[in-house]
Amino acid sequence: MNKLYASQLSQHLQQQLAGCYLVFGEEPLQKQDCLDQIRVKARQQGFDERQQFRLEAQFDWEPVFSAMQSLSLFSSRQIIELDLQAQKLTAATGKELKQLFDLLHPDTLLLLHGERSPAEISKLSWVKALPKDSVLLSIYPLDDQQFQKWLQQQLRQAGIQFSPDASQLFLHHCSGNLLAARQNLDKLLLTFGPCSLDEPALADFLADQSSFSVFQLSDALLAGQQQQAFHRLQRLLGQDEEPTLLCWQLHREVQNLLQLQQGTMAERAGLFKQLGIWPKRQPLYQQALQRLPLNWLHYILQELASFDRQFKGGQLTQLPLALTHLCSLFLAPVPKAFSLQRYEQR
């Protein structure tokens, strides 16, 4: 089985079309684009009919097996699609899928897709039973740099030009939400056609649709990016993100920083590996280590513990303020004019 990322699919399809594709990930727009690319390539090679199935509770597998074993009524080649959605893939499901793989033949393209993590899917036993020329396509959310690159490509294709300020505004409003970004670009093209837009014109058009994860908040805090961090926190609170999850992520980052700060420079490479911090994120930790001394990291840990006690005890009356305070502690050591511990002791 071959493993590819979404960005590698176009080049792969220029060279070949596999008999079976697995497309998994939680980023809906990239996933849909990849499925469309595979379908277009398949139609070019004579796969003119498509049968679709969706895995649900009490799923009847018989129509899928019948489709795999029968020739198309309208063409000599057909695509069989099975949407596994976000379903937990049990051993019984794996057994049925293994039997499907045995029925693969050159006139049938099997396309499986779902919302579960590619890393999780790749470990399942039925995936390991796939034919060697099958492809597992992994879909991951774009980071800030990848998002900017994607945006520039979309703008070129649409014939739209943003001023530098307009580009920053668009990123601010849609960062982390690829589907919202695409929808806004489509609406811009329908409204104005190919055009040039400055910040005031774009501001009248946009609504704030950015969506972030706790991990993206962590990245901004480690990098010391105050504006981005508070914007991401605001959006997370608007998404009703569980406060305990936010606190848990901050606690995890402090623990990592403490271990790195206590080690020597020579030991850091080994510590990064031990803590499971990928090379791509290591510069973020290096920036935080330069700003935050050991005693300040211990203070953050104490404040996090105080937040946890007060939250679980129902004592926090201004939750957004408390979380903003915790995030601000990652940006730089400041005078301890406000302290959750002091508030707790009242």
User: How many other CB atoms sit within 10 Å of the CB of residue 1?
Assistant: 16
Give how far Cα 120 sits from Cα of 85, 116, 136, 337, Å: 14, 7, 12, 46
Torsion of CA 191, 196, 199, 205, to 10 degrees: 0
pLDDT of residue 346: 63
Helix axes 243-262, 214-222, angle to 10 degrees: 40
CA angle 297, 299, 300 (to 5 degrees): 65
Angstrom distance (rounded) from CA 332 to CA 343? 21
Angstrom distance (rounded) from CA 21 to CA 23? 6
pLDDT of residue 61: 92
User: How many other CB atoms sit within 10 Å of the CB of residue 342?
Assistant: 11
Angstrom distance (rounded) from CA 252 to CA 317? 25
Q: Closest by alpha carbon to 235, among 223, 251, 220? A: 220
Split the chain (346 residues) into runs of 10 and give each run's mean pLDDT.
92 94 92 95 92 89 89 72 86 90 91 90 87 91 88 93 91 86 92 91 81 89 94 90 88 95 91 88 95 96 94 89 95 87 74
Give bridge partners of residue 112 from the DSSP assignment: 22, 82
Q: Is 103 exposed, middle or buried (0-12, 13-18, 19+ CB in 10 A)?
A: middle
